[in-house]
Amino acid sequence: MIKQAIIPLAGLGTRLLPLTSVFAKELLPINGKPGIEYILDECIEAGIKEVVFIISKKKQMIKNYFYNDKFYKKIIKKKKDPRIIKEYKKILKYKKMIRFVYQNKPLGTGDAVLKTQKFIKDKFFLMLLPDDLIIKKNCSKSMINIHNRYKSSVMASMNVKKNTVSRWGIFKLSKKLDKINYLVKDVVEKPSINNAPSNKAVIGRYILPKKIFSKLSKQKPGKGGEIHITDAIQSLIYENNKFVAHIFSGKYLDCGSMNGYIKSSLEIAKL
């Protein structure tokens, strides 16, 4: 069973400037609710019991959001507003399941994952990238089912336009397991159009094996001088570890870019 999830939250969010100049992008409201709460709700619904947040000193605001008890208690005592009481209870529920670790240097997603090593208990864990919102169907839940069926690692995937491949991790697939699940032969971080093995991209949901930590601890920086999770996954695949690419059926919203962020509120309002 997958019971633990990790969420890298130390990113600077430059694609969303000026909104992120003094504010954490994951707390920005999407149709009246902070983006991170959508991600946490997806985890809870998928049966996750503990979530590790990787933040930085600059993103301390995220921890404060969940640890503002004094303030809530004071307001509730004064106003007795049922809406605020309900919201505070929800925050307390989240707080109970969150642990925090710090990544103060932006060395990449792989480095962020490595920071969670001491918290991970089971053989496999879930990772969600908070920029990637998937609505209409719980992607994490589907991936956990696939993990249980194939006893493998799993990554979410979607077909992207050929001229955007250099924005994503891109899969080379081998065997088709069924209509929506493929065995991964290779995965390349942000290839050029000419070097892309397909137009199937990695989207920010991963079920990873605990043994990825030993790969990450030896991992050299890759594209852009960062330590990429994609490169560690690639070395595990080369050592015959099974990874399944799952073509998810929900709707993907790229909340890390300005256009995507604006669109996400409109899409969620339609639900």
Residue among 147 and 205 whose Cβ is closer to ligand G1P: 205
Comparing CB distances to ligand G1P, the nearer of 66 and 155 is: 155
User: Which residues, 99 to 118, sit near ligand G1P by CB under 6 A?
Assistant: 109
Question: According to CB under 6 A, which one of 66, 168, 206, 243 is a site residue for ligand G1P?
Answer: 168
**Among the listed residues 7, 129, 135, 233, the single contact to ligand G1P using CB under 6 A:** 129
Establish if 132 lies at the interface with ligand G1P (CB under 6 A): yes
CA distances from 57 to 34, 60, 62, 177, 262 (A): 20, 5, 10, 43, 27
Strands, E assignment, the chain: 4-8, 29-30, 33-34, 50-55, 98-102, 124-128, 132-135, 153-159, 169-178, 181-189, 200-209, 243-247, 251-254
The nearest distance, CB 172 to ligand G1P, in angstroms, is: 14
- How do strand 181-189 and strand 132-135 relate by DSSP bridges? unpaired
Q: To 10 degrees, what angle do helices 82-97 and 35-45 make?
A: 60
Q: Does residue 169 belong to the site contacting ligand G1P (CB under 6 A)?
A: yes
Least Å distance, CB 132 to ligand G1P, is 5
Report DSSP state, residue 22: S
Pick between residue 66 and residue 230 the one whose CB is nearest to ligand G1P. Answer: 230
Binding map of ligand G1P across residues 213-232, x = CB under 6 A, - = no contact: ---------------x-x--
Q: How far apart (Å, rounded) are the C-alpha atoms in residues 201 and 159?
A: 6
Binding residues for ligand G1P, total number by CB under 6 A:
13
Binding window for ligand G1P (CB under 6 A); candidates: 12-20, 127-135, 176-184, 237-245 = 127-135
Structure tokens at 32: 């009246």
What is the smallest separation between the CB atom of 163 and ligand G1P, expressed in angstroms? 15
Which residue, among 110, 121, 122, 126, has the nearest Cα to 40 in the 3D structure? 126
Q: Is 189 in the site for ligand G1P (CB under 6 A)?
A: yes
Q: Which of 6, 209, 235, 234 is nearest to 103 (CA)?
A: 6
We find the least distance from the C-beta atom of residue 143 to ligand G1P, in angstroms, to be: 14
Cα torsion angle, 122, 5, 249, 14, sign: negative
203 binds ligand G1P (CB under 6 A): yes
The number of helices, as runs of H, and strands, as runs of E, in the chain is 9, 13
10 near ligand G1P, rule: CB under 6 A: no
- Candidates 16, 100, 90; CA nearest to 57 is 100
Cβ at position 260, least distance to ligand G1P in Å: 10
Residues that bind ligand G1P (CB under 6 A): 109, 129, 131-132, 168-169, 189, 201-204, 228, 230
